Amino acid sequence: MELGERLKNLRKKRGLTLKQLSEITGLSVGFLSNIERELNSPTISSLRKICDSLNISFFELLKPNIQEQRIVRSSERTELVNSRMSKTRYEMLTVGANKKMQPICITMAPGGFSGEAALGHEGEEFGYVIKGKLEIEVGGETFWLEEGDSVYIEEFVPHRYRNAGDGECITIWVVHGQIQGLLRTT
C-alpha cells in the first residue's frame, strides 16, 4: 500500500473529511487530495502536520510494511520521506518500530537541507558523514563536517543542517528516542 493510500485510509478511519484535515493542518484541500492520490510528494513538515493531526507517528504510518528482522539489505530500506523541496531523502536502516535506537540514512542533493529553523526535540542523536560536506548548526554554533566526521546532539538542543558541498551528502544518524524530531524539513 502506498503512502497516499495509507494516509487516506487513516483519515477516513478517524472520520475526517479532506476539508476537516485541511482546517486542522493548515494545508490546502487540493494539496492533501494530491498526496492521497500520489500526485504530490509531501514535505516532511507537511507529513508531520498530517501525522500529528491523525494522532499517529511515522512508524504507525509505515506499519503495514514493517516486520521484525535483523538484516536489512540496501535494496530493502524503507524510505520514510523523499522531499523534492528540501532535496532530502530519509531511509530507515532497520526494520521494526520497537527499537531503542533508530538508525537513518539521510541523503541530500546539492542545496539539500533539514529545515529553515533550528529545532530541538526529544531524543539524542549521533550523526556521521559518509560522503560529502555537511554544515550543521547546533545550539547556535555552526560547524562544517567532512567525510569521517561525526556530531553528537543532546536532547532538546536546537539544530539544523544542510549540504555544504557541490555533490551529494550522505549521513548516517542514530536516534535514541523519538525519530520524528529528526524528520523535519520545510
The b-or-e profile of 75-104 (16+ CB within 10 A means b, else e) is eeebebbbbeebbbbbbbebbebeeeebbb
Q: What is the pTM of this model?
A: 0.62
98-102, 122-126, 149-153: least confident range = 98-102
What pLDDT score does 186 carry?
Answer: 38
Of the listed ranges 22-31, 113-122, 128-137, 139-148, the one predicted with least confidence: 113-122
Fold classification of 3-61 is 434 Repressor (Amino-terminal Domain) (1.10.260)
Task: Give yes or no for a contact between 131 and 168, defined as CB atoms under 8 angstroms apart.
Answer: yes
- Residue 133 and residue 111 in contact, taking contact as beta carbons nearer than 8 Å: no
* Low-confidence winner among 68-72, 123-127, 170-174 (lowest mean pLDDT): 68-72
User: Does CATH place domain 68-181 in 2.60.120.10?
Assistant: yes
Instruction: List beta partners, residue 151.
Output: 127
Higher pLDDT: 14 or 107? It is 107
Spatial CB neighbours of 99, under 8 Å, sequence gap ≥ 6: none
Q: Residue 120: is its pLDDT beyond 60?
A: yes
pLDDT digits (tens, 9 = 90+) for 151-169: 999 999 999 999 999 999 9
Residue 61: closest CA among 39, 40, 46, 76: 46
pLDDT of residue 66: 47
Annotated domain spans of the chain: 3-61, 68-181
Q: Which residue has the higher pLDDT, 58 or 91?
A: 91
Q: Tell me the mean pLDDT in the region 52-69.
A: 67
> What is the enclosing helix (H) or strand (E) of 9?
helix 3-13
Mean pLDDT for all residues in the chain: 84
What integer pLDDT is reported at residue 97 of this predicted model? 55
Residue 21 near residue 36 (C-beta atoms within 8 A): no
